[in-house]
Amino acid sequence: MYNIIKLIRVRQWIKNFFCFAPILFAGQLLNTELFTKNILAFLAFCAVSSSVYIINDIIDVEADRAHKKKRFRPIASGEISIKHAVIILIIIIAITVLLSALINIYFVITVAAYFIINLLYSIKVKHVVILDVFFISLGFMLRLIGGAAAIHVSLSSWMILTAIFISLFLAISKRRAELSQIEQDNLDKQRKVLNYYGIEFTDQMNTIAATGTIICYALYTVSEKAVSTFHTENLIYTTPFVIYGIFRYLYLIHQKNLGESPTQIVTKDIPIMLNTLIWLIVSVFIIYKDKFFNK
């Protein structure tokens, strides 16, 4: 069971919390019916993302065995055979289909697109410089779109742009961390696309992505749609938390040589955890204060 949990990457499910952003910023977090659908959407993305991880581990088994950390993954280490992994994969795909069918056709299309895009990434795109980080970014975007599709709400243009930049920031940070930790003598056996990247190049791209994230989020908080939906411009006061989060992440990448696993940073770095929690509390208070006080 422990190896199955490692195989399906339960720790990576934290990325699927992107699904809850639309309901939070639509002001519908207290709507029980919509929140239930959002939970189903979250679980569906947990299942489909796990299926993608299994497929990727099967395809990359030899490369993983040459990696100093990835060689301990269940398939690469031999703890789970490829045959058993395929059986688990079929079960998880069946769960994904069932959960998606309980929501709506738009969500089904989004989940199918997520699966196809990640399949293409695992087979070919991860070896194509720059396009690889865009495909990783697209995975985060589809989580956001899926959350919106599940509850039939529209996404603000500024929110979409914010999601694009922050997902690119996370994807580029991952490549940057891999470059700083890679074993050069095993490079051809590990992630070949790293041959086309460099520390300076990824730092330049990350600067653009970080700047885009902060600017687009700030503009979203004072956008006409946000002000009309929340009846306040006070959401702008959550911007410093976003800026701190980006700066802290950059600090961990450059000074602590982390970033290869965004999930590990978010779940283990106490300043980022506290910052995220405070941002969430402040955001919920600003967006829902009228509903709380009216009760």
Q: What is the DSSP string of 20-56?
A: GHHHHHTT-TT-HHHHHHHHHHHHHHHHHHHHHHHHH
Distance CA 100, CA 108 (A): 5
For residue 247, the model assigns a pLDDT of 95
Given a contact cutoff of 8 angstroms between Cβ atoms, the answer to whether 248 and 272 are in contact is yes
Task: Kindly give, in sequence order, each residue whose CB lies less than 8 Å from that of residue 95, ignoring residues fewer than 6 positions away.
Answer: 47
- Cα distances (angstroms) measured from residue 51 to each of 19, 56, 115: 18, 9, 8
For residue 36, the model assigns a pLDDT of 94
Distance CA 64, CA 76 (A): 6
Given a contact cutoff of 8 angstroms between Cβ atoms, the answer to whether 146 and 139 are in contact is no
Q: Where are the domains of the chain?
A: 1-155, 156-295
| Residue whose entry in the numeric block shows the structure tokens 């069971």 | 1
Helices 239-255 and 157-181 meet at what angle, rounded to 10?
10
Per DSSP (E only), the strands in 187-273 are none
For residue 222, the model assigns a pLDDT of 92
Q: What's the distance, CA 246 to chain centroid?
A: 15
Start-end of H helices in 104-156: 105-123, 131-151
- Total-model pTM: 0.87
| Residue whose entry in the numeric block shows the structure tokens 């100093």 | 68
Distance CA 165, CA 184 (A): 30
Sign of the Cα torsion 76, 82, 86, 87 reads: negative
Phi/psi at 42 (nearest 5 deg)? Answer: -60, -45
The residue ranges of the chain whose pLDDT is under 70 are 182-191, 259-260, 292-295
Homologous superfamily assigned to 1-155: UbiA prenyltransferase (1.10.357.140)
